[in-house]
Amino acid sequence: MLNTFKDIVRKSSIHVCLVNCGGCNGCDIEIVALLSPRYDLEQYGIYVHNNPREADVILITGAVTEQWIKKIKRIYSKAPEPKVVACVGNCPLSGDVFNQEGGNVHAPVSDFICVDAEISGCPPRPSEILEAILTVAPGAIASRGREANGKNKKNQVTGGK
Amino acid sequence: MILPIGPIHPGLKEPLRLKLQTQGEKVLKAEIDYGYVHRGIERIMEGKTWQKCIYLAERVCGICSYEHTQTFAETIEKISNVRAPSRAQFLRTITNELDRIQSHLLANSTYFKAMEHETLFMYLLSVREHIMDAIELLTGNRVNMGWNVVGGVRMDAKQVHLDAILEKLKDVEKDLDRYVQIFEQGHLVGLRSKDVGVMTRDEALKGRAVGPIGRASGLKHDLREQHHTYRENFEFKPIWRKEGDNFARTMNRFDEIPQSIDLVRQAINNLPDGDIRTKVEIGSGYVEWRNEAPRGEVVYMAETNGNLIKHISIRTPSIMNIDSCAKYMLKDVATVADAVATYATADPCIACAERVAIIDVDKGETSKDIFDLK
Protein backbone atom coordinates (compact mmCIF):
# COMPACT_ATOMS: atom_id res chain seq x y z
CA MET A 1 0.00 0.00 0.00
CA LEU A 2 2.70 2.43 1.06
CA ASN A 3 4.82 1.39 -1.91
CA THR A 4 2.09 2.08 -4.46
CA PHE A 5 1.45 5.45 -2.88
CA LYS A 6 5.16 6.30 -3.02
CA ASP A 7 5.28 5.16 -6.66
CA ILE A 8 2.51 7.55 -7.61
CA VAL A 9 4.19 10.45 -5.84
CA ARG A 10 7.61 9.73 -7.32
CA LYS A 11 6.26 9.37 -10.84
CA SER A 12 4.31 12.58 -10.77
CA SER A 13 6.91 14.95 -9.33
CA ILE A 14 10.32 14.86 -10.97
CA HIS A 15 12.95 17.44 -10.13
CA VAL A 16 15.62 18.00 -12.76
CA CYS A 17 19.12 19.35 -12.24
CA LEU A 18 20.93 20.61 -15.31
CA VAL A 19 24.71 20.25 -15.23
CA ASN A 20 26.74 21.81 -18.03
CA CYS A 21 30.15 20.19 -17.74
CA GLY A 22 31.80 22.00 -20.61
CA GLY A 23 29.76 22.24 -23.79
CA CYS A 24 28.74 24.98 -26.18
CA ASN A 25 25.43 25.58 -24.30
CA GLY A 26 23.40 24.72 -27.40
CA CYS A 27 21.84 21.82 -25.49
CA ASP A 28 21.21 24.03 -22.45
CA ILE A 29 19.11 26.48 -24.41
CA GLU A 30 17.13 23.60 -25.90
CA ILE A 31 16.38 22.51 -22.33
CA VAL A 32 15.34 26.10 -21.52
CA ALA A 33 13.12 25.97 -24.61
CA LEU A 34 11.41 22.97 -22.98
CA LEU A 35 10.03 25.34 -20.33
CA SER A 36 8.23 27.38 -23.00
CA PRO A 37 4.45 27.04 -23.34
CA ARG A 38 4.79 25.04 -26.55
CA TYR A 39 6.53 22.07 -24.93
CA ASP A 40 5.42 22.85 -21.36
CA LEU A 41 7.63 20.60 -19.29
CA GLU A 42 5.72 21.31 -16.09
CA GLN A 43 2.48 19.70 -17.27
CA TYR A 44 4.21 16.32 -16.85
CA GLY A 45 5.18 17.17 -13.28
CA ILE A 46 8.79 17.89 -14.21
CA TYR A 47 10.43 20.88 -12.62
CA VAL A 48 13.85 22.21 -13.69
CA HIS A 49 15.44 23.25 -10.44
CA ASN A 50 19.22 23.19 -10.94
CA ASN A 51 19.80 21.98 -7.42
CA PRO A 52 21.60 18.63 -7.13
CA ARG A 53 20.45 18.06 -3.55
CA GLU A 54 16.80 17.92 -4.62
CA ALA A 55 17.28 16.27 -8.01
CA ASP A 56 15.67 13.06 -9.21
CA VAL A 57 17.03 13.42 -12.73
CA ILE A 58 20.46 14.84 -13.53
CA LEU A 59 20.70 16.09 -17.12
CA ILE A 60 24.30 16.25 -18.26
CA THR A 61 25.40 18.29 -21.24
CA GLY A 62 28.88 18.94 -22.53
CA ALA A 63 32.10 16.98 -22.79
CA VAL A 64 33.83 16.72 -19.41
CA THR A 65 36.54 19.37 -19.08
CA GLU A 66 39.50 19.27 -16.70
CA GLN A 67 37.67 21.22 -13.97
CA TRP A 68 34.68 18.88 -13.98
CA ILE A 69 36.40 15.51 -13.47
CA LYS A 70 36.12 15.64 -9.68
CA LYS A 71 33.10 17.90 -9.48
CA ILE A 72 30.88 15.68 -11.61
CA LYS A 73 31.37 12.80 -9.14
CA ARG A 74 30.65 15.10 -6.20
CA ILE A 75 27.44 16.36 -7.76
CA TYR A 76 26.37 12.80 -8.52
CA SER A 77 26.97 11.72 -4.93
CA LYS A 78 25.01 14.69 -3.58
CA ALA A 79 21.79 13.81 -5.37
CA PRO A 80 19.43 11.78 -3.13
CA GLU A 81 19.02 8.10 -3.87
CA PRO A 82 16.44 7.13 -6.41
CA LYS A 83 18.14 9.08 -9.20
CA VAL A 84 18.48 8.88 -12.96
CA VAL A 85 21.24 10.35 -15.12
CA ALA A 86 20.48 11.36 -18.71
CA CYS A 87 23.12 12.61 -21.15
CA VAL A 88 21.90 15.25 -23.58
CA GLY A 89 23.72 15.72 -26.87
CA ASN A 90 26.74 14.14 -28.48
CA CYS A 91 29.31 15.75 -26.16
CA PRO A 92 28.78 13.57 -23.07
CA LEU A 93 28.58 10.46 -25.25
CA SER A 94 31.71 10.86 -27.35
CA GLY A 95 33.14 14.35 -26.94
CA ASP A 96 31.79 15.34 -30.35
CA VAL A 97 34.08 17.75 -32.24
CA PHE A 98 36.10 18.62 -29.15
CA ASN A 99 37.47 15.10 -28.74
CA GLN A 100 40.42 15.63 -31.11
CA GLU A 101 44.10 16.22 -30.80
CA GLY A 102 44.65 19.41 -28.83
CA GLY A 103 41.24 19.32 -27.15
CA ASN A 104 40.95 19.52 -23.42
CA VAL A 105 38.04 17.15 -22.79
CA HIS A 106 37.68 13.80 -21.05
CA ALA A 107 34.58 12.34 -22.62
CA PRO A 108 32.58 10.13 -22.24
CA VAL A 109 30.78 10.93 -19.01
CA SER A 110 30.10 7.24 -18.40
CA ASP A 111 33.75 6.90 -17.35
CA PHE A 112 32.95 8.85 -14.21
CA ILE A 113 29.31 8.18 -13.29
CA CYS A 114 26.54 5.71 -14.21
CA VAL A 115 24.42 6.83 -17.12
CA ASP A 116 20.84 5.63 -17.68
CA ALA A 117 19.74 7.40 -20.85
CA GLU A 118 21.61 8.80 -23.81
CA ILE A 119 20.12 11.32 -26.22
CA SER A 120 22.25 11.88 -29.32
CA GLY A 121 22.12 14.91 -31.57
CA CYS A 122 23.95 18.21 -31.72
CA PRO A 123 21.76 19.47 -30.15
CA PRO A 124 18.76 17.10 -29.90
CA ARG A 125 15.35 18.61 -30.49
CA PRO A 126 13.42 19.63 -27.36
CA SER A 127 10.74 17.03 -28.08
CA GLU A 128 13.41 14.30 -28.10
CA ILE A 129 14.79 15.41 -24.73
CA LEU A 130 11.28 15.46 -23.28
CA GLU A 131 10.53 12.01 -24.69
CA ALA A 132 13.72 10.59 -23.21
CA ILE A 133 13.04 11.99 -19.74
CA LEU A 134 9.47 10.69 -19.80
CA THR A 135 10.46 7.24 -21.08
CA VAL A 136 13.21 6.60 -18.56
CA ALA A 137 12.66 8.69 -15.50
CA PRO A 138 9.29 7.90 -13.85
CA GLY A 139 9.59 4.12 -14.13
CA ALA A 140 13.25 3.97 -13.16
CA ILE A 141 12.86 6.31 -10.21
CA ALA A 142 9.89 4.38 -8.88
CA SER A 143 11.49 0.94 -9.23
CA ARG A 144 14.77 2.10 -7.73
CA GLY A 145 12.90 3.65 -4.85
CA ARG A 146 11.17 0.32 -4.23
CA GLU A 147 14.47 -1.59 -4.37
CA ALA A 148 16.11 0.76 -1.93
CA ASN A 149 13.09 0.55 0.33
CA GLY A 150 13.05 -3.24 0.35
CA LYS A 151 16.75 -3.88 0.80
CA ASN A 152 17.92 -1.21 3.12
CA LYS A 153 15.93 1.62 4.52
CA LYS A 154 19.05 3.58 5.40
CA ASN A 155 19.90 4.08 1.74
CA GLN A 156 17.31 6.76 1.23
CA VAL A 157 18.42 8.67 4.28
CA THR A 158 22.14 8.54 3.64
CA GLY A 159 21.77 9.39 -0.04
CA GLY A 160 20.85 12.96 0.65
CA LYS A 161 23.81 13.80 2.84
CA MET B 1 30.82 37.96 4.33
CA ILE B 2 31.58 36.33 1.01
CA LEU B 3 28.60 34.67 -0.65
CA PRO B 4 29.55 32.17 -3.35
CA ILE B 5 27.11 31.50 -6.19
CA GLY B 6 27.69 28.64 -8.57
CA PRO B 7 29.03 26.77 -10.49
CA ILE B 8 25.76 24.81 -10.19
CA HIS B 9 23.06 27.13 -8.93
CA PRO B 10 19.33 27.60 -9.58
CA GLY B 11 19.97 31.10 -10.89
CA LEU B 12 22.66 30.14 -13.40
CA LYS B 13 22.31 28.12 -16.56
CA GLU B 14 26.01 27.77 -17.15
CA PRO B 15 28.89 26.97 -14.83
CA LEU B 16 30.61 30.01 -13.35
CA ARG B 17 31.53 31.02 -9.83
CA LEU B 18 30.34 34.40 -8.66
CA LYS B 19 31.73 35.57 -5.31
CA LEU B 20 29.70 38.38 -3.82
CA GLN B 21 31.19 40.35 -0.96
CA THR B 22 28.21 41.30 1.15
CA GLN B 23 27.53 43.42 4.19
CA GLY B 24 24.16 42.37 5.49
CA GLU B 25 21.99 42.22 2.39
CA LYS B 26 24.02 44.80 0.51
CA VAL B 27 26.48 43.65 -2.16
CA LEU B 28 29.72 45.64 -1.99
CA LYS B 29 31.62 44.07 -4.85
CA ALA B 30 31.88 40.91 -6.87
CA GLU B 31 34.52 38.59 -8.22
CA ILE B 32 34.23 36.03 -10.99
CA ASP B 33 35.97 32.69 -11.50
CA TYR B 34 36.12 31.24 -15.00
CA GLY B 35 37.56 28.07 -16.37
CA TYR B 36 34.80 25.49 -16.18
CA VAL B 37 34.17 25.12 -19.91
CA HIS B 38 37.58 25.53 -21.51
CA ARG B 39 37.70 23.02 -24.38
CA GLY B 40 40.70 24.20 -26.39
CA ILE B 41 38.93 25.07 -29.64
CA GLU B 42 41.68 27.39 -30.94
CA ARG B 43 44.29 24.68 -30.43
CA ILE B 44 42.20 22.01 -32.21
CA MET B 45 41.73 24.33 -35.19
CA GLU B 46 45.45 24.72 -35.84
CA GLY B 47 46.70 22.71 -38.79
CA LYS B 48 43.28 21.84 -40.16
CA THR B 49 41.41 22.85 -43.31
CA TRP B 50 38.48 25.27 -43.11
CA GLN B 51 35.99 22.49 -43.82
CA LYS B 52 36.85 20.98 -40.44
CA CYS B 53 37.21 24.28 -38.59
CA ILE B 54 33.88 25.82 -39.47
CA TYR B 55 32.08 23.21 -37.37
CA LEU B 56 34.32 24.03 -34.43
CA ALA B 57 33.72 27.76 -34.89
CA GLU B 58 30.00 27.04 -34.73
CA ARG B 59 30.42 25.31 -31.41
CA VAL B 60 32.23 28.15 -29.66
CA CYS B 61 28.84 29.28 -28.45
CA GLY B 62 25.43 27.68 -28.85
CA ILE B 63 23.30 30.80 -28.64
CA CYS B 64 25.08 32.98 -31.20
CA SER B 65 26.41 30.02 -33.19
CA TYR B 66 25.44 31.56 -36.51
CA GLU B 67 27.55 34.70 -36.21
CA HIS B 68 30.68 32.66 -35.48
CA THR B 69 30.40 30.71 -38.74
CA GLN B 70 29.73 33.87 -40.69
CA THR B 71 32.74 35.64 -39.19
CA PHE B 72 34.96 32.62 -39.78
CA ALA B 73 33.81 32.33 -43.39
CA GLU B 74 34.31 36.05 -44.01
CA THR B 75 37.79 35.91 -42.48
CA ILE B 76 38.86 33.20 -44.89
CA GLU B 77 37.15 35.02 -47.78
CA LYS B 78 39.05 38.17 -46.91
CA ILE B 79 42.35 36.28 -46.90
CA SER B 80 41.50 34.84 -50.32
CA ASN B 81 40.29 38.22 -51.65
CA VAL B 82 36.83 37.07 -52.67
CA ARG B 83 33.37 38.16 -51.61
CA ALA B 84 30.30 35.99 -51.38
CA PRO B 85 27.71 36.59 -54.16
CA SER B 86 25.12 39.22 -53.29
CA ARG B 87 22.30 36.67 -52.93
CA ALA B 88 24.38 34.78 -50.39
CA GLN B 89 25.10 38.02 -48.54
CA PHE B 90 21.38 38.78 -48.32
CA LEU B 91 20.60 35.25 -47.12
CA ARG B 92 23.32 35.59 -44.50
CA THR B 93 21.73 38.82 -43.32
CA ILE B 94 18.32 37.17 -42.96
CA THR B 95 19.69 34.34 -40.84
CA ASN B 96 21.92 36.67 -38.83
CA GLU B 97 19.03 38.93 -37.88
CA LEU B 98 16.74 35.99 -37.05
CA ASP B 99 19.49 34.64 -34.81
CA ARG B 100 19.85 38.05 -33.15
CA ILE B 101 16.12 38.20 -32.43
CA GLN B 102 16.07 34.79 -30.76
CA SER B 103 19.19 35.59 -28.74
CA HIS B 104 17.77 38.90 -27.47
CA LEU B 105 14.47 37.23 -26.57
CA LEU B 106 16.33 34.53 -24.66
CA ALA B 107 18.50 37.08 -22.85
CA ASN B 108 15.51 39.16 -21.78
CA SER B 109 13.53 36.12 -20.71
CA THR B 110 16.50 34.98 -18.59
CA TYR B 111 16.46 38.40 -16.92
CA PHE B 112 12.77 38.09 -16.12
CA LYS B 113 13.38 34.63 -14.70
CA ALA B 114 16.18 36.05 -12.55
CA MET B 115 13.89 38.76 -11.18
CA GLU B 116 11.13 36.17 -10.61
CA HIS B 117 8.63 37.45 -13.15
CA GLU B 118 7.58 34.12 -14.63
CA THR B 119 4.75 35.46 -16.79
CA LEU B 120 6.96 37.54 -19.06
CA PHE B 121 9.54 34.74 -19.07
CA MET B 122 6.93 32.36 -20.50
CA TYR B 123 5.53 34.96 -22.93
CA LEU B 124 8.95 35.71 -24.40
CA LEU B 125 9.88 32.03 -24.71
CA SER B 126 6.65 31.37 -26.59
CA VAL B 127 7.45 34.24 -28.99
CA ARG B 128 10.95 32.86 -29.40
CA GLU B 129 9.56 29.54 -30.66
CA HIS B 130 8.13 31.34 -33.73
CA ILE B 131 11.61 32.62 -34.57
CA MET B 132 13.14 29.20 -33.99
CA ASP B 133 10.58 27.81 -36.46
CA ALA B 134 11.61 30.44 -39.00
CA ILE B 135 15.29 29.54 -38.57
CA GLU B 136 14.49 25.84 -38.92
CA LEU B 137 12.46 26.51 -42.05
CA LEU B 138 15.33 28.36 -43.69
CA THR B 139 18.36 26.32 -42.59
CA GLY B 140 17.05 22.94 -41.45
CA ASN B 141 18.29 23.14 -37.88
CA ARG B 142 17.30 24.97 -34.73
CA VAL B 143 20.60 25.78 -33.04
CA ASN B 144 23.75 24.72 -34.87
CA MET B 145 22.72 25.46 -38.41
CA GLY B 146 25.68 24.46 -40.55
CA TRP B 147 24.48 27.05 -43.06
CA ASN B 148 27.61 29.04 -43.90
CA VAL B 149 30.50 27.88 -46.06
CA VAL B 150 33.50 29.83 -47.27
CA GLY B 151 32.29 31.56 -50.42
CA GLY B 152 28.56 31.63 -49.73
CA VAL B 153 25.82 29.60 -48.12
CA ARG B 154 25.03 25.92 -48.37
CA MET B 155 21.41 25.93 -49.52
CA ASP B 156 19.20 28.28 -51.48
CA ALA B 157 15.98 29.61 -50.00
CA LYS B 158 12.70 29.13 -51.85
CA GLN B 159 10.03 31.80 -52.10
CA VAL B 160 7.61 29.55 -50.14
CA HIS B 161 9.93 29.58 -47.15
CA LEU B 162 10.52 33.32 -47.32
CA ASP B 163 6.78 34.01 -47.42
CA ALA B 164 6.27 31.77 -44.41
CA ILE B 165 8.99 33.67 -42.53
CA LEU B 166 7.28 37.00 -43.29
CA GLU B 167 4.01 35.57 -41.93
CA LYS B 168 5.73 34.46 -38.74
CA LEU B 169 7.35 37.87 -38.26
CA LYS B 170 3.89 39.46 -38.34
CA ASP B 171 2.79 37.21 -35.46
CA VAL B 172 5.91 38.03 -33.50
CA GLU B 173 5.50 41.78 -33.95
CA LYS B 174 1.88 41.68 -32.83
CA ASP B 175 2.66 39.82 -29.61
CA LEU B 176 5.88 41.59 -28.81
CA ASP B 177 4.38 45.08 -28.71
CA ARG B 178 2.19 44.05 -25.80
CA TYR B 179 5.01 42.39 -23.89
CA VAL B 180 7.28 45.40 -24.24
CA GLN B 181 4.49 47.58 -22.87
CA ILE B 182 4.05 45.25 -19.90
CA PHE B 183 7.70 45.72 -19.07
CA GLU B 184 8.03 49.40 -19.88
CA GLN B 185 4.93 50.64 -18.09
CA GLY B 186 4.42 47.98 -15.45
CA HIS B 187 5.23 49.30 -11.99
CA LEU B 188 6.28 45.89 -10.71
CA VAL B 189 8.78 45.11 -13.45
CA GLY B 190 9.87 48.38 -14.98
CA LEU B 191 10.39 50.33 -11.79
CA ARG B 192 12.23 47.48 -10.13
CA SER B 193 14.81 47.59 -12.93
CA LYS B 194 15.42 51.34 -12.94
CA ASP B 195 18.57 52.65 -11.24
CA VAL B 196 19.81 49.15 -10.43
CA GLY B 197 23.26 48.09 -11.58
CA VAL B 198 24.16 51.45 -13.12
CA MET B 199 27.24 51.59 -15.35
CA THR B 200 28.19 55.05 -16.61
CA ARG B 201 29.72 55.78 -20.00
CA ASP B 202 33.24 56.17 -18.59
CA GLU B 203 32.99 52.90 -16.72
CA ALA B 204 31.72 51.15 -19.84
CA LEU B 205 34.74 52.51 -21.72
CA LYS B 206 37.10 51.33 -18.99
CA GLY B 207 35.47 47.90 -18.82
CA ARG B 208 35.49 47.60 -22.65
CA ALA B 209 31.76 46.84 -22.70
CA VAL B 210 30.41 46.06 -26.16
CA GLY B 211 27.10 45.28 -27.80
CA PRO B 212 23.75 46.09 -26.18
CA ILE B 213 25.44 46.42 -22.78
CA GLY B 214 27.79 49.13 -24.01
CA ARG B 215 25.09 50.76 -26.12
CA ALA B 216 22.78 51.02 -23.11
CA SER B 217 25.53 52.97 -21.32
CA GLY B 218 25.91 55.48 -24.14
CA LEU B 219 28.62 53.90 -26.30
CA LYS B 220 27.12 54.42 -29.75
CA HIS B 221 28.99 51.64 -31.46
CA ASP B 222 27.51 48.99 -33.70
CA LEU B 223 29.78 47.12 -36.09
CA ARG B 224 26.93 46.50 -38.50
CA GLU B 225 27.37 50.11 -39.61
CA GLN B 226 30.81 49.24 -41.00
CA HIS B 227 29.96 45.84 -42.48
CA HIS B 228 29.95 45.96 -46.27
CA THR B 229 26.60 44.16 -46.71
CA TYR B 230 24.74 46.51 -44.37
CA ARG B 231 26.52 49.63 -45.61
CA GLU B 232 25.73 49.01 -49.26
CA ASN B 233 22.27 47.49 -49.15
CA PHE B 234 20.34 48.31 -46.01
CA GLU B 235 19.11 51.27 -44.05
CA PHE B 236 20.41 50.91 -40.56
CA LYS B 237 20.98 53.09 -37.52
CA PRO B 238 22.33 51.86 -34.19
CA ILE B 239 20.03 52.07 -31.18
CA TRP B 240 21.47 53.37 -27.94
CA ARG B 241 20.48 54.74 -24.56
CA LYS B 242 22.11 56.83 -21.87
CA GLU B 243 20.97 55.47 -18.52
CA GLY B 244 23.09 52.32 -18.24
CA ASP B 245 20.87 50.53 -15.72
CA ASN B 246 19.04 47.20 -15.95
CA PHE B 247 16.01 48.89 -17.52
CA ALA B 248 18.09 50.49 -20.27
CA ARG B 249 19.90 47.25 -21.11
CA THR B 250 16.65 45.28 -21.33
CA MET B 251 14.89 48.00 -23.33
CA ASN B 252 17.87 48.32 -25.66
CA ARG B 253 17.52 44.67 -26.52
CA PHE B 254 13.76 45.00 -26.90
CA ASP B 255 14.21 47.98 -29.25
CA GLU B 256 16.67 46.09 -31.42
CA ILE B 257 14.15 43.32 -32.16
CA PRO B 258 11.79 45.45 -34.37
CA GLN B 259 14.89 46.84 -36.10
CA SER B 260 16.08 43.30 -36.87
CA ILE B 261 12.59 42.37 -38.10
CA ASP B 262 12.74 45.40 -40.39
CA LEU B 263 16.16 44.31 -41.70
CA VAL B 264 14.83 40.80 -42.43
CA ARG B 265 11.92 42.35 -44.35
CA GLN B 266 14.27 44.61 -46.33
CA ALA B 267 16.46 41.62 -47.19
CA ILE B 268 13.58 39.39 -48.26
CA ASN B 269 11.92 42.11 -50.36
CA ASN B 270 15.13 43.07 -52.19
CA LEU B 271 16.60 39.58 -52.48
CA PRO B 272 18.62 39.49 -55.73
CA ASP B 273 18.79 36.47 -58.04
CA GLY B 274 21.98 34.64 -58.82
CA ASP B 275 24.46 32.17 -57.38
CA ILE B 276 24.66 31.38 -53.70
CA ARG B 277 28.26 30.20 -53.66
CA THR B 278 31.51 30.99 -55.46
CA LYS B 279 34.61 28.92 -55.82
CA VAL B 280 37.35 30.04 -53.46
CA GLU B 281 41.05 29.35 -53.72
CA ILE B 282 42.37 29.79 -50.21
CA GLY B 283 45.24 32.24 -50.05
CA SER B 284 47.94 32.73 -47.46
CA GLY B 285 48.13 35.60 -45.04
CA TYR B 286 46.91 37.16 -41.84
CA VAL B 287 43.53 38.85 -41.43
CA GLU B 288 41.55 40.33 -38.60
CA TRP B 289 37.79 40.45 -39.16
CA ARG B 290 35.11 41.91 -36.90
CA ASN B 291 31.38 41.37 -36.83
CA GLU B 292 28.51 42.32 -34.59
CA ALA B 293 27.22 39.23 -32.76
CA PRO B 294 24.02 39.51 -30.67
CA ARG B 295 26.19 40.23 -27.62
CA GLY B 296 28.63 42.60 -29.29
CA GLU B 297 31.80 42.56 -31.28
CA VAL B 298 33.33 39.20 -32.21
CA VAL B 299 36.84 39.17 -33.67
CA TYR B 300 38.59 36.41 -35.58
CA MET B 301 42.32 36.75 -36.12
CA ALA B 302 43.44 34.02 -38.49
CA GLU B 303 46.67 33.19 -40.23
CA THR B 304 46.55 30.66 -43.06
CA ASN B 305 49.28 28.82 -44.83
CA GLY B 306 47.92 27.69 -48.17
CA ASN B 307 44.96 25.50 -47.40
CA LEU B 308 45.70 25.02 -43.71
CA ILE B 309 45.01 27.29 -40.78
CA LYS B 310 48.27 28.14 -39.08
CA HIS B 311 47.03 30.09 -36.13
CA ILE B 312 43.65 31.40 -35.05
CA SER B 313 42.55 33.57 -32.19
CA ILE B 314 38.93 34.24 -31.31
CA ARG B 315 37.73 37.11 -29.16
CA THR B 316 34.11 37.00 -28.12
CA PRO B 317 32.06 39.82 -26.54
CA SER B 318 31.05 37.94 -23.40
CA ILE B 319 34.39 38.17 -21.65
CA MET B 320 34.38 41.99 -21.74
CA ASN B 321 30.74 42.21 -20.75
CA ILE B 322 31.08 39.83 -17.82
CA ASP B 323 34.21 41.64 -16.65
CA SER B 324 32.56 45.05 -16.75
CA CYS B 325 29.53 43.54 -15.03
CA ALA B 326 31.65 42.25 -12.15
CA LYS B 327 33.69 45.43 -11.82
CA TYR B 328 31.16 48.22 -12.32
CA MET B 329 27.58 46.93 -12.29
CA LEU B 330 27.82 44.73 -9.20
CA LYS B 331 29.05 47.57 -7.02
CA ASP B 332 26.88 48.78 -4.14
CA VAL B 333 23.80 46.83 -5.22
CA ALA B 334 21.04 46.95 -2.62
CA THR B 335 20.20 43.23 -2.38
CA VAL B 336 21.57 39.86 -3.44
CA ALA B 337 18.44 39.26 -5.54
CA ASP B 338 19.17 42.46 -7.46
CA ALA B 339 22.78 41.36 -7.92
CA VAL B 340 21.70 38.09 -9.59
CA ALA B 341 19.24 40.02 -11.80
CA THR B 342 21.98 42.51 -12.73
CA TYR B 343 24.28 39.65 -13.63
CA ALA B 344 21.54 38.25 -15.90
CA THR B 345 21.13 41.57 -17.76
CA ALA B 346 24.79 41.47 -18.78
CA ASP B 347 23.72 38.50 -20.94
CA PRO B 348 26.56 36.23 -19.84
CA CYS B 349 27.50 33.40 -22.15
CA ILE B 350 30.19 31.39 -20.43
CA ALA B 351 30.86 28.99 -23.27
CA CYS B 352 32.14 31.92 -25.36
CA ALA B 353 34.34 33.29 -22.66
CA GLU B 354 36.78 30.48 -22.01
CA ARG B 355 40.27 31.30 -23.20
CA VAL B 356 43.54 30.31 -21.60
CA ALA B 357 46.11 32.86 -20.52
CA ILE B 358 49.02 32.05 -18.24
CA ILE B 359 49.82 34.83 -15.80
CA ASP B 360 53.17 34.99 -14.07
CA VAL B 361 52.19 36.55 -10.76
CA ASP B 362 55.72 37.53 -9.71
CA LYS B 363 56.61 39.31 -12.94
CA GLY B 364 53.08 40.37 -13.82
CA GLU B 365 53.39 39.02 -17.35
CA THR B 366 50.65 37.44 -19.37
CA SER B 367 51.35 34.81 -22.00
CA LYS B 368 48.88 33.14 -24.33
CA ASP B 369 51.44 30.91 -25.98
CA ILE B 370 51.00 27.97 -23.64
CA PHE B 371 52.42 25.34 -25.94
CA ASP B 372 55.65 27.24 -26.74
CA LEU B 373 54.81 27.35 -30.42
CA LYS B 374 56.66 30.50 -31.37
Domains in chain B (CATH in brackets) are 49-326 (1.10.645.10)
B358 Cβ under 8 Å from any chain A Cβ: no
Q: Regarding predicted confidence, which is higher, A145 or B233?
A: B233
Which residues in chain A have Cβ-Cβ distances shorter than 8 Å to B140? none
Task: Write down the pLDDT at residue A158.
Answer: 41
Classify residue A49 by its DSSP letter: -
**Cα-Cα end-to-end distance for chain B:** 45
Residue type present at position B292: E
Query: A29, A38, A48, A51: which to substitute to probe chain B, counting the most B Cβ within 10 Å?
Result: A29
Cα(A79)–Cα(A77) distance, integer angstroms: 6
Every domain of chain A and the residues it spans: 25-150
A130 Cβ under 8 Å from any chain B Cβ: no
How many residues can be counted in chain B? 374
Q: Do B14 and A18 touch (CB under 8 A)?
A: no
CB neighbours of residue B117 within 10 Å: 20
Q: A99-115 burial, b for 16+ CB within 10 Å, e for fewer?
A: bbebbbbbbbbeebbeb
Q: Are B2 and B33 in contact (CB under 8 A)?
A: no
Which residues in chain B have Cβ-Cβ distances shorter than 8 Å to A75? 8
Q: Is the pLDDT of residue A152 over 60?
A: no
Q: Do A36 and B125 touch (CB under 8 A)?
A: yes
Percent of chain A with pLDDT over 70: 91
Q: Is B61 annotated as a binding residue?
A: yes
Q: Which residues of B, range 97-126, sit inside 8 Å of A by Cβ? A: 106, 110, 121-122, 125-126
Which residues in chain B have Cβ-Cβ distances shorter than 8 Å to A98? 39-41, 44, 59
Write the DSSP string, A73-122.
HHHHHHS-SS-EEEEESSHHHH-GGGSSTT--B---GGGTS---EEE-SS
pLDDT in tens, chain B (374 residues): 888 887 888 777 788 888 889 998 898 888 888 888 888 888 888 888 988 889 888 988 888 889 999 999 999 999 999 999 999 999 999 999 999 999 999 999 999 988 888 899 999 999 999 999 999 999 988 888 888 999 999 989 899 999 999 999 998 998 899 999 989 888 888 888 888 889 999 998 988 889 899 999 998 888 899 999 999 999 888 999 998 889 999 999 999 999 999 999 999 999 999 999 999 999 899 999 999 999 889 999 999 988 899 888 888 888 888 888 888 888 888 888 888 888 888 888 888 887 666 666 777 666 655 555 44
Is the domain A25-150 a CATH 3.40.50.12280 member?
Answer: yes
SS3 letters for chain B?
CEEEECCCCCCCCCCCEEEEEEECCEEEEEEEECCCCCCCHHHHHCCCEHHHHHHHHHCCCCCCHHHHHHHHHHHHHHHCCCCCCHHHHHHHHHHHHHHHHHHHHHHHHHHHHHCCCHHHHHHHHHHHHHHHHHHHHHHCCCCCCCCEECCEECCCCCHHHHHHHHHHHHHHHHHHHHHHHHHHHCCCCHHHHCCCCCCCHHHHHHCCCCHHHHHHCCCCCCHHHCCHHHHHHCCCCCCCCCCCCHHHHHHHHHHHHHHHHHHHHHHHHCCCCCCCECCCCCCCEEEEEEEEECCEEEEEEEEEECCEEEEEEEECHHHHHHHHHHHHHCCCECCHHHHHHHHHHCCCCCCCCCCCCEEECCCCEEECCCCCCC
Task: Write down the pLDDT at residue B130.
Answer: 92
Task: Write down the pLDDT at residue B365.
Answer: 67
Instruction: Kindly identify which residue of chain A lies nearest to residue B52, measuring between CA atoms.
Output: A97
SS3 assignment, position A57: strand
β-pairing verdict for B308-315 and B296-305: antiparallel
Which residues in chain A have Cβ-Cβ distances shorter than 8 Å to B9? 50
Q: Do B125 and A33 touch (CB under 8 A)?
A: yes
